Amino acid sequence: MTKLSVQLFTMRSIQDDALMLDSVKQAGYEFVELYGAKLARGTALAGLLAERGLKATGSHVALLDLTDDIETVVENAQAFNISSLFVPSVPVPQRDMPAEGWRELGTRLAFLSDKLSGHGISLGYHNHDWDLHLKDGDKTALDLVFEAAGSAPLQWEADIAWLARAGVDPVFWLKRYSNRLAAAHVKDLAPAGGNKEEAGWADVGAGVLEWKVLWPAAIANGASVMVVEHDKPLDPSATIAKSFHYLQENLL
């Protein structure tokens, strides 16, 4: 059964963890996806989740954290009883690197995914629009990452709105890497020129993306977790509540 989760990065402006999780619970969610700073809270935050009957489906984790102290990452993941980690991005200076840099990233992620698999944890990569830039003929950066990863158990968390923002067909890409697809981020794009104060993003169902097509396509191609997110909400509690209501009324 597909799980509906919410990425706590959406809620980062709420500094108090208890209040943040109360908003998540009140909006109707049962699952959350962590990001690096929350994963690092370990047992303390895990306790707050448990008190509210919330569970974590997985977490984002910085590549540097995996490289420098993979043991602590594993310990924190175990505190939340999660078995899925996703590298959310490369550092800003690397986002326009040439093809060889992306191949090296794929090799590095493959190595780390093998190490984590020994602890019962899968590793995946999460895309943005720059991952769809062409780097070697008709091959994008994302193609090169997955190609270099080879047979390693590297998964993919597809950010569908970032695929759309990159100007590609999300459904085509969901099918293209269905063998790696494990989860998908669910957020929306405002009409062109809209919601400038929110960097052009919108609450799910309030934008231009066709979720009645995209949602089932993600699930059909392997996504077992669908993660609501908004990169820059003015009112995060209202955003996740409105997104949940839209999904509950139309897709759940």
Per-position DSSP letters for the chain, written without gaps between them: -PEEEEEGGGGTT---HHHHHHHHHHHT-SEEEE-HHHHTTHHHHHHHHHHTT-EEEEEE--HHHHHH-HHHHHHHHHHTT--EEEE----GGGTT--HHHHHHHHHHHHHHHHHHHTTT-EEEEE--GGGGSEEETTEEHHHHHHHHHTTS--EEEEEHHHHHHTTS-HHHHHHHTTTTEEEEEE-EEPSTT--GGGTTEE-TTSSS--HHHHHHHHHHTT--EEEE--SS-SSHHHHHHHHHHHHHHHT-
pLDDT tens per residue across span 94-153: 999 999 999 999 999 999 999 999 999 999 999 999 999 999 999 999 999 999 999 999
Q: What is the pLDDT of residue 177?
A: 98
Q: What is the pLDDT of residue 249?
A: 98
- Give me the chain's average pLDDT, please: 98
User: What stretches in the chain show pLDDT beneath 70?
Assistant: none
